[in-house]
């Protein structure tokens, strides 16, 4: 069974604002989650504001399921996490979102079902709901201001869920023209310059700089040349960059010669 | 100079909705950032909707500074990142939010100033703004739905910034009664049981189970006992848990004896 098929259910317990349900849905969709469960949303269901706030992720709102109690919402699950802002005087394991995501992936790889409980905006989960969970998840936050909104908390868990599925997840949006991006230098269809191309540029530039009298005094020349060469290497120049610089050098040199004639 | 003093500036370029500026401010405050810069916000500045959406983080909105251009907003910075959804056909390093945060911490530790550019909601950063940056940051997202909102993108970068500052950041909210939480078993003021307390419980329970005829047949007794003991160890029982279980055992045993008399 793939990790995907048994992705965690996200259970919003007594959410107050439809808008926050929609923002949460958009957060889930961005990170490959869609199993939204609602326990008695305050303003009833369906909710127009939830649809509007979800933007393109309205499908997550439309497929959300509603339950009369936390127990009913989690009865098919094998592993349940409760998100809170503090440990709440319960003897229970505490996980960071990152560790929680790793635990959720491990559960999914066993083919078991998991869920994450989020409490209402004003008060968070009550202690009876937390007592139904295997572990508590608490996000790292500033000690000066710690007030994650419901959709912010959902986003962090969803983001860590996607990250936990691979060491190097694909980055960004896939379009008709682009696949996903990866870390490293984006080359936009070109390639890194060869050393022959760079050495040709160095010879051209240094010849013109000698001619212009820039590489002086002679005892400083070697270190000046090294500095300039290092700049080009740090720039990780492409084939096209080398062409551009040869044009720049030729054009500036010609202009200088022009001003002297 | 502390990492804190040179935390990255967050530059929203032509943000459209005041509400999103407020949500972004709340995201920043939650993760210890406050240097919000705005380049020509569409609806002018100050903006009531931004204040309302920031909730308790209104101080971030109130201290935001407004600039007439991206260049003006970043001129004091040494290192600038541009957030995009795709690499945009530019030869530029691509970083994940996690790697970007590590780079921002490294810059801060050198005492240099950094900033992160975020584009307007509809279109993202334009190519001229991206060309002013040292590197591009792209978040990992679902390949089926990739549509991070502006405040969602800000939240992810701010969250990774806080995480990048230490291997085990403090979790959750500090109150008058609680310090920050840490990963692991929260003990809520009690302590793990000693082995003597557990062995006392095992002896009590097993004696009552023998008396009740539960640990049968004799050839299964040893493995049944091991299973029960392992359950108590997995539960990581506290001193209080052991007291509770001794009470449960005594009470059930007394009830059983009661029904027989």
pLDDT digits (tens, 9 = 90+) for A218-239: 999 999 999 999 988 888 889 9
Distance from CA of B174 to the nearest CA of A (A): 6
* Main-chain dihedrals φ then ψ at residue A140, nearest 5 degrees: -70, 130
Q: How far apart are CA B227 and CA B215, in angstroms?
A: 11
Give the pLDDT score at B2.
55
- Does position B1 have pLDDT exceeding 50, yes or no? no
Q: Which residues pair with B184 in a beta bridge?
A: A94
Asked whether the beta carbons of A68 and A40 are under 8 A apart, the reply is yes
Give the pLDDT score at A261.
43
Strands B184-186 and A92-95: antiparallel
Integer angstrom CA distances of residue A261 from A249, A255, B237:
18, 10, 93
Nearest CB neighbour to A183, from listed B55, B89, B99: B99
* A176 at B interface, C-beta within 8 A: no
Helix B18-30 and helix B150-163, axial crossing angle in degrees, nearest 10: 10
* Among A9, A12, A30, CA closest to A112: A9
Q: Which residues pair with A36 in a beta bridge?
A: A10
Distance from CA of B136 to the nearest CA of A (A): 9
Q: Do B30 and A141 touch (CB under 8 A)?
A: yes
Bigger pLDDT: B107 or B257?
B107
Calculate ∠ Cα B175-B176-B182, nearest 5°: 45
Q: Do A94 and B152 touch (CB under 8 A)?
A: no
* Among B99, B71, B94, B72, CA closest to B84: B94
DSSP string, A41-101: -TT-SS-HHHHHHHGGGHHHHHT-EEESSHHHHHTT-SEEEEE-SS-TT--EEEE-HHHHH
Spatial strand order in the sheet of A79-83? A65-67, A36-39, A9-13, A114-118, A79-83, A135-137, A92-95, B184-186
pLDDT tier, B5 (very low <50, low <70, confident <90, very high otherwise): low
Distance from CA of B261 to the nearest CA of A (A): 37
- Does position B9 have pLDDT exceeding 50, yes or no? yes
Q: What is the largest CA-CA distance in chain A?
A: 90
- Does position B257 have pLDDT exceeding 80, yes or no? no
Q: How far apart are CA B155 and CA A44, in angstroms?
A: 29
Distance from CA of B217 to the nearest CA of A (A): 31
pLDDT digits (tens, 9 = 90+) for B107-124: 999 899 999 999 999 999
Structure tokens given for B37: 């810069």
pLDDT tier, B174 (very low <50, low <70, confident <90, very high otherwise): confident
Q: Do A57 and B171 touch (CB under 8 A)?
A: no
Bigger pLDDT: B193 or B255?
B193
Q: How far apart are CA B87 and CA B166, in angstroms?
A: 29
* B58 at A interface, C-beta within 8 A: no
Q: Do A186 and B147 touch (CB under 8 A)?
A: no
Give the pLDDT score at B3.
60
- Does position B261 have pLDDT exceeding 80, yes or no? no
Q: Do A186 and B238 touch (CB under 8 A)?
A: no
Q: Kindly compute the dihedral angle of the four CA atoms of residues B14, B15, B17, B20, in this order, to the nearest 10 degrees.
A: -170
* Among B99, B150, B95, CA closest to B122: B150
Average pLDDT across each block of 10 residues of chain A; the chain has 261 residues. List them in order.
75 98 98 96 97 96 98 95 89 93 93 96 95 94 92 98 82 75 81 92 95 93 93 89 93 76 43
* Among B149, B93, B90, B141, CA closest to B122: B149
Q: Kindly compute the dihedral angle of the four CA atoms of residues B85, B90, B94, B96, in this order, to the nearest 10 degrees.
A: -10
DSSP string, B154-178: HHHHHHHHHHTT-SS--BS---SS-
Nearest CB neighbour to A30, from listed B89, B147, B240: B147
Asked whether the beta carbons of A177 and A163 are under 8 A apart, the reply is no
* A179 at B interface, C-beta within 8 A: no
Integer angstrom CA distances of residue B21 from A22, A248, B37, B47, B60:
18, 42, 10, 9, 10
Look at the block and give the residue holding tokens 């251009």: B69
Whether omega for the bond prior to residue A191 falls within 30 degrees of 0, making it cis, is: no
Calculate ∠ Cα B165-B168-B170, nearest 5°: 90
Distance, CA of B238 to chain centre? 28
**Helical H segments across chain A, by residue range:** 18-30, 48-54, 58-62, 70-74, 97-109, 127-130, 150-163, 195-211, 218-234, 239-260
pLDDT digits (tens, 9 = 90+) for B25-80: 999 999 999 999 999 999 999 999 999 999 999 999 999 999 999 999 999 999 99
Bigger pLDDT: B186 or A118?
A118
Q: Do A181 and B94 touch (CB under 8 A)?
A: yes
Whether omega for the bond prior to residue A46 falls within 30 degrees of 0, making it cis, is: yes
Give the pLDDT score at B182.
83
The nearest alpha carbon in chain A to B176 belongs to A86
A interface test, pick of B60, B146, B162 with most A CB neighbours within 10 Å: B146
Q: How far apart are CA A4 and CA B240, in angstroms?
A: 40
pTM exceeds 0.90 for this model: no
């Amino acid at each position: 069974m793939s990790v995907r098929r048994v992705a965690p259910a996200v259970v919003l317990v007594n959410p107050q604002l439809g808008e926050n349900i929609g923002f949460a849905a958009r957060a889930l969709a961005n990170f490959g989650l869609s199993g939204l469960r609602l326990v008695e949303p305050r303003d009833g269901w369906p909710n127009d504001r939830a649809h509007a706030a979800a933007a393109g992720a309205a499908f997550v709102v439309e497929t959300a399921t509603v339950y009369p109690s936390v127990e009913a919402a989690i009865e098919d699950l094998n592993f349940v996490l409760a998100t809170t802002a503090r440990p709440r005087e319960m003897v229970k394991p505490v996980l960071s979102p990152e560790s929680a995501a790793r635990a959720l992936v491990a559960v999914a790889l066993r083919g078991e079902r998991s869920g994450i409980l989020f409490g209402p905006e004003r008060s968070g989960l009550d202690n009876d709901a937390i007592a139904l969970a295997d572990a508590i998840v608490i996000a790292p936050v500033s000690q000066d201001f710690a007030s994650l909104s419901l959709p912010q908390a959902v986003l962090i868990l969803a983001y860590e869920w996607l990250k936990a599925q691979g060491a190097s997840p694909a980055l960004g949006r896939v379009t008709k023209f682009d696949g996903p991006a990866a870390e490293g230098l984006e080359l936009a269809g070109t390639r890194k310059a060869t050393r022959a191309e760079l050495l040709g540029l160095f010879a051209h530039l240094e010849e013109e700089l000698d001619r212009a009298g820039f590489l002086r005094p002679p005892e400083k020349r070697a270190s000046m040349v090294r500095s300039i060469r290092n700049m080009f290497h740090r720039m990780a120049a492409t084939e096209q960059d080398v062409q551009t610089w040869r044009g720049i050098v030729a054009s500036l040199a010609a202009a200088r010669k022009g001003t002297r004639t």
